[in-house]
Amino acid sequence: MLVSTRYKFVFLSNRKCASSSLVRSLSPFCDIVMEHDHRLRHTSYSEFQRHILPFLVEKIGPEAEEYDVYCLFREPVDWLYSWYRFRTRKGISPEVVPDHWEYTGNMSWGSFLGEALKPKAAQFAKFGGRQHMFVEGVNGSTKGLTLFRYDDFADFLNHMAEKIGEELEVVNFNVSPELAEGPCEEDYQRCRIALAADYRIYDAIPDGGGLVDLDDNTDPADKTTSKASSNVGGILSKIKRKLTP
């Protein structure tokens, strides 16, 4: 998590959304940098509202309540697939760390997905909660939170560069291994039901990012059905290109 009093923004580090890279890029412009301890780095929106925002208001004043709060949100299946890939890395393989509880290199993507979707998943398929839990505030709403799809990473960088007034250089960290096996269309269809709470938010994010207020009476799915369908095809195309030798 990052807080910049000069540029009046907060950045929440959602897991598997290039948060390590973005923190390194944005931290020179920030006054509060929670980077190394994951319990602090991945401070959620509700935790920010309960603990960090009152502190900022006390120290800085009510202007802290007007800070822009940003977060990236990844397509839900792609998010799970990123976890699967990350946990196949050689650094936690049995040859290096015997019986590491996170290691997934000894199983298929399909087996991992099946376990990850269970109400009580095994340790290797746990991630500290779904994405919707990270971005929902104390009242269960995303009100006041500016979300960008991870797919629109370049738009987020451009937005922040304009806000700060400088070009941002991003270096990749924690890059997951490339694998031959990836999600299929059936996986996306299955997860549309199993991860409905995540998709509800993902589908509501405007192209190029923006505020997402799910307190209104309009179901975001009604406004984005066609867009959601095209997203599945686009993401599949991206993955297929990556998997092509």
DSSP string, 161-222: HHHHTS-------SPPPP-S----HHHHHHHHHHTHHHHHHHHHSPTT-EE--TTSSS-HHH
pLDDT tens by residue, 31-87: 999 988 888 999 999 999 999 999 999 999 999 999 999 999 999 999 999 999 999
- Count CA atoms closer than 13 A to 128's CA, side-chain side: 14
Q: What average pLDDT does this structure show over 210-231?
A: 53
Q: How confident is the model at residue 229 (pLDDT cuts 50, 70, 90)?
A: very low
pTM, full prediction: 0.84
Q: What average pLDDT does this structure show over 194-198?
A: 97
Q: What average pLDDT does this structure show over 168-183?
A: 78
pLDDT of residue 100: 81
pLDDT of residue 169: 87
Range of the domain at 167: 2-243
Q: Which residues contact 3 (CB under 8 A, 6 or more apart)?
A: 9, 10, 30, 31, 32, 52, 56, 67
- Count CA atoms closer than 13 A to 226's CA, side-chain side: 1
Q: What average pLDDT does this structure show over 9-37?
A: 94
Question: Is pLDDT above 60 for 97?
Answer: yes
pLDDT of residue 223: 39
Question: Is pLDDT above 70 for 88?
Answer: yes
Give the CA distances from residue 50 to residues 73, 214, 231, in Å, rounded to whole numbers and listed in that order.
21, 20, 34
Q: What average pLDDT does this structure show over 1-9?
A: 97
Q: How confident is the model at residue 174 (pLDDT cuts 50, 70, 90)?
A: low
Q: How confident is the model at residue 215 (pLDDT cuts 50, 70, 90)?
A: low
pLDDT of residue 146: 97
Of 69-78, 95-104, 234-243, where does mean pLDDT reach its minimum? 234-243
Indicate the number of domains in the chain: 1
| Beta bridge partner(s), residue 2 | 11, 33
